[in-house]
Amino acid sequence: MTDTPQRPLRVLAAMSGGVDSAVAAARAAEAGHEVTGVHLALSANPQSFRTGARGCCTVEDSRDARRAADVIGIPFYVWDLADRFKEDVVDDFVAEYEAGRTPNPCLRCNEKIKFAALLDKALALGFDAVCTGHYAKVIVREDGSRELHRASDMAKDQSYVLGVLDDRQLAHALFPLGDTVTTKEEIRAEAARRGLAVARKPDSHDICFIADGDTQGFLAKRLGKAEGDIVDESGAKLGTHEGAYGFTIGQRKGLRIGTPAADGKPRYVLDISPVNNTVTVGPAAALDVTGLTAIRPRWCGTAPSGPGAYTAQLRAHGDETPVTAELIDGTLHVAFAEPARGVAPGQAVVLYDGTRVVGSATIASTVRATSAV
Amino acid sequence: MAYLDHAATTPMLPEAAAALTAQLAVTGNASSLHAAGRRARRTVEEARETLAEALGARPSEVVFTSGGTEADNLAVKGLYWSRRDADPARTRVLASPVEHHAVLDAVHWLSEHEGATVEYLPVDSHGRVHADALREAIARDPDDVALATVMWANNEIGTLMPVRALADAAAEFGVPLHADAVQAFGQVPLSFEESGLAAATVSGHKIGGPYGIGALLLRREHTPVPVLHGGGQERHVRSGTLDVPAVAAFAVAGQHAAAHQQLFAQRVGGLRDELVEAVRAAVPDAILGGDPDPAGRLPANAHFTFPGCEGDSLLLLLDAQGIECSTGSACTAGVAQPSHVLLATGLDPDLARGTLRFSLGHTSTPADVEAVAKAIGPAVERARAAGLS
């Protein structure tokens, strides 16, 4: 990889129809790159008669992306990656919940769709890079290799969902928004200044393929209702649920347990057992985790050898926590300096060295401070 | 720049543009009784006569509409309603499966909302409906057929239908046959009188006229129930103030299309043959869609399937080199889908994803063909490397 961002690249800009990716594409074009916009049709929702058509539930986003491309003055296409998306992201999302884990579909989409299916197609068609509206920084080392860093604005940083990218993927990634200190308001102002109508479009927070935001309903439709017990740490039954997949470790709301805890303090989901369809709840203190193991590690650069001191992020928008991590036989073992809470199998642990992303892995199990569960 | 998407729309003829702009400066509602109104009415009626002449129809058989889509809807829905009103048993609609969406979605709507039973006629591997197939379908129960609709020429693969034979088969049972002739006008000889059709659709912007104007050619004995209700300006089957400038320019383009049809077929057909040869030379395994016999297809149409390619990828690569063509079908979100036309001809759905339609027109030149000849080989190679996502 001898390309540097200074040299004009042929760039494929993934445009979701939102303000971030529109400004990212505009900045890439302004930097002198030859930019082509592409909107990914990811939903397979037959709504019309058109034979074999996947309805047009993304029509509005697609139109917004198209209008942004018009204003920027770049070619624009819509690519249908719905089959790949269903296979690699949606089905995986459902299977992970079914197994009692808590997946992060955005991370999965970056790993499997944007920087795999899309990137591979882009490279084959003669593009040099894929550009997205993520807030993260890529720094080119002297030897030409890449480092992924947190965005200048820590509040907007999205390096966590990009932590799965390897060297090769990073070498072809362009994140024009990560290089400057930029608040969302500044990005909106910039979009307005550039004449982009998406400047005032509301942020999307939810999972893109669950349009109404009802994850429980989405899962229930696919996994069916499976009534089971909610028990406390001693195994005593406190209530029932309609499917263990509907819960996340650390969850407090929506437990619908009639009787309060003996000490009157709120109870949290401590454990989800899909095997016997049981959800265990208990006090906040029981959520304390002192370590974890994680599988499917991916490294930005070479894998570290021996134990190392890092900071770790355990969920999107989560805080950093100091850890010691070591790779043993392909499994990452992480020990926390201080107990951490809300650590859910299925989520990613991303290791940082300062602002630099070292690598990531999928949390497989946790080590509890108390041995009650 | 090589514009090879004339089937989507073709550049307006300078004389049509001149007629359009000249009329834009003139005031007058063709329904008004005063002098300005009479002037506008005269322009409309002269245009109607010109178009009728060009299309082998009587002036009273020309019903102006806002375009091909409206004319198709008026024919399909309007004839369904009027025929069913006359006899409630008539609820069967016979349609080819390769129709344009303006017909396909209209007949589907009738089945969803108006109690119609839609029967899709069988087509051969070129997408052609044979008269025997239509005859057999009607003969199964001649009394319950409301109408049949089979396009004159297919917009994607260019296949010509045996219109006269189809109309004769329908006439044996007194069933009205409609044909969408939007792509045929100007490319093949077209006489409404000789076709035996009950109704035929034509459109302005496909023949060098303006957008937003079309016509339904309609025999006097048919009075379809209107889709648009109002002032009844067009034979009481179509309402809305007539767009006098568009009507005038449509007539100019229509006259030109009819007068130059033979020349067009010869010159553009020759270029098309060269394009087909060039593509085959560059990509030996490219599959020509539609009828390989030039006599059986539109002279301006060349349609290819490129195995192992995504049409999207090819479009992007050619577009980047200034070659403008089409994958054949698109949904409103802009997502290309395997074409219903190709699926109806029996093409494998994976193959159907890798198609391109090159459609030539009156401004096409040998340089356009050369551009494709040069670009298509490397583009297909690239698209193949990108594969099917």
Q: What is the pLDDT of residue A372?
A: 46
Answer whether A53 sits within 8 Å of B331, measured CB to CB. Answer: yes
Contact: B332, A120; criterion CB under 8 Å: no
DSSP characters over B77-91: IIHHHHHHHH-TT--
Q: Give the Cβ contact number of residue A194 at 10 Å.
A: 16
pLDDT values of chain B reduced to their tens digit, one per residue, 389 residues = 999 999 999 999 999 999 999 999 999 999 999 999 999 999 999 999 999 999 999 999 999 999 999 999 999 999 999 999 999 999 999 999 999 999 999 999 999 999 999 999 999 999 999 999 999 999 999 999 999 999 999 999 999 999 999 999 999 999 999 999 999 999 999 999 999 999 999 999 999 999 999 999 999 999 999 999 999 999 999 999 999 999 999 999 999 999 999 999 999 999 999 999 999 999 999 999 999 999 999 999 999 999 999 998 999 999 999 999 998 765 544 566 788 999 999 999 889 889 999 999 999 999 999 999 999 999 999 999 998 76
Q: Can you tell me the distance from the alpha carbon of B186 to that of B100, in angstroms, rounded to the nearest whole number?
A: 18
Q: Determine the pLDDT at residue A18.
A: 92
Q: How far apart are the C-alpha atoms of B159 and B341, rounded to whole Å? A: 11
Please tell me which residue of chain B has the smallest CA distance to A113: B389
DSSP annotation of B220 reads: T
Confidence of residue A215 (pLDDT cuts 50, 70, 90): confident
pLDDT beyond 70 at A175: yes
Q: Could you tell me if A75 lies within 8 Å of chain B, comparing CB atoms? A: yes
Is residue A291 over pLDDT 80? yes
For residue B138, how many C-alpha atoms fall within 13 Å in the half-sphere facing its CB? 24
A208 interfaces chain B, CB cutoff of 8 Å: no
- The set of residues, in sequence order, having a beta carbon less than 8 Å from that of A106 and lying 6+ positions away, is A161, A207, A316
pLDDT of A260 above 80: no
Q: Hey, which residues 84-103 in chain B have their CB within 8 Å of chain A?
A: 101
B25, B331, B333, B367: the catalytic one is B331
- Domains in chain A, CATH or no CATH each: 10-200 (3.40.50.620), 225-286 (2.30.30.280), 288-368 (2.40.30.10)
Chain A residues within an 8 Å CB radius of B105: 49-50
Q: Confirm or reject contact between B374 and chain A (CB < 8 A).
A: no
- Active site annotation includes A208: yes
**Is domain B14-259 given the CATH code 3.40.640.10 in the classification?**
yes
Which residues of chain B does A117 touch, with a Cβ-Cβ cutoff of 8 Å? 389
Using CA atoms, how far apart are residues B350 and B273, in angstroms rounded to an integer? 27
The CA distance from B145 to B147, in Å, is 6
**How far is the C-alpha of A228 from the C-alpha of A238, rounded, in Å?**
11
Taking a C-beta distance cutoff of 8 angstroms, is the pair B189, B40 a contact? no
pLDDT band (50, 70, 90) for residue A318: confident
Between A50, A75, A126, which is nearest B331 by CB? Answer: A50
A120 inside 8 A of chain B by CB: yes
- Any A CB within 8 A of B105 CB: yes
User: Which three-class secondary structure state does DSSP give residue A66?
Assistant: helix
CA distance A248 to A216: 11
Q: Nearest CA of chain B to the CA of A100: how many Å?
A: 31
B43, B23 Cβ separation under 8 angstroms:
yes
pLDDT of residue A58: 59
pTM (2 decimals)?
0.88
Quote the CA–CA distance of A365 and B219 in Å, as a whole number: 77
The shortest CB-CB distance from B385 to any of A77, A79, A124 is to A124
- Measured between alpha carbons, how far is A373 from A171 in angstroms, rounded to an integer? 44
Picking from A145, A107, A119, the residue whose alpha carbon sits closest to that of residue A12 is A119
List CB contacts of B27: < 8 A, sequence separation 6 or more.
B36, B40
Burial state string for A329-351 with b = 16 or more CB within 10 A and e = fewer than 16: eeebbbebeebbbbbbbbbbbbb
Between A10-19, A193-202, A217-226, B106-115, the lowest mean confidence (pLDDT) is in: A217-226
Is B337 in contact with A49 (Cβ distance < 8 A)? Answer: no
Share of chain A above pLDDT 70, in %: 92
3-state helix, strand, coil in chain A (%, to 5): 30, 30, 40
Residues 6+ apart with CB under 8 A from B356: B303, B304, B306, B311, B314, B315, B318, B325, B326, B327, B328
Tokens of A22: 């529109």
Task: Please tell me the least confidently modeled range out of A36-50, A229-243, A294-308, B277-291.
Answer: A36-50
Domain B261-386 carries which CATH code?
3.90.1150.10
Closest CA of chain B from A237, distance in Å: 49
Say whether residue B279 is in contact with chain A using an 8 A CB cutoff: no
Task: Tell me: pLDDT of A254 over 90.
Answer: no
Q: Choose the mutation target among A35, A63, A77, A88 for the interface with B, i.e. most B CBs under 10 Å.
A: A77
pLDDT at residue number A152: 85
Q: Cα angle at A241 between A237 and A245, to 5 degrees?
A: 120
Q: What is the mean pLDDT of chain A?
A: 87
Q: Do B317 and A52 touch (CB under 8 A)?
A: no
Q: Between B323 and A223, whose confidence is greater?
A: B323
Q: Which DSSP letter does residue A233 get?
A: T
Task: Give the neighbor-by-neighbor strand order of the sheet with B62-65.
Answer: B62-65, B214-218, B199-203, B177-180, B145-149, B92-95, B117-120
Q: What's the number of CA atoms in the CB half-sphere (13 Å) around residue A258?
A: 4
Radius of gyration of chain B (CA): 21
Q: What is the pLDDT of residue B83?
A: 98
User: Where are the domains positioned within chain B?
Assistant: 14-259, 261-386
Nearest by CB: A77 against B312, B337, B386? B312
Give residue A55's pLDDT: 38
ipTM: 0.86
Q: Which residues of A touch B382 (CB under 8 A)?
A: 124-126
Report the chain B residue with the minimal C-alpha distance to residue A35.
B320
Cβ <8 Å between B349 and A51:
no
> Using the beta-carbon criterion (under 8 Å), do B389 and A83 form an inter-chain contact?
yes
pLDDT at residue B329, rounded to an integer? 61
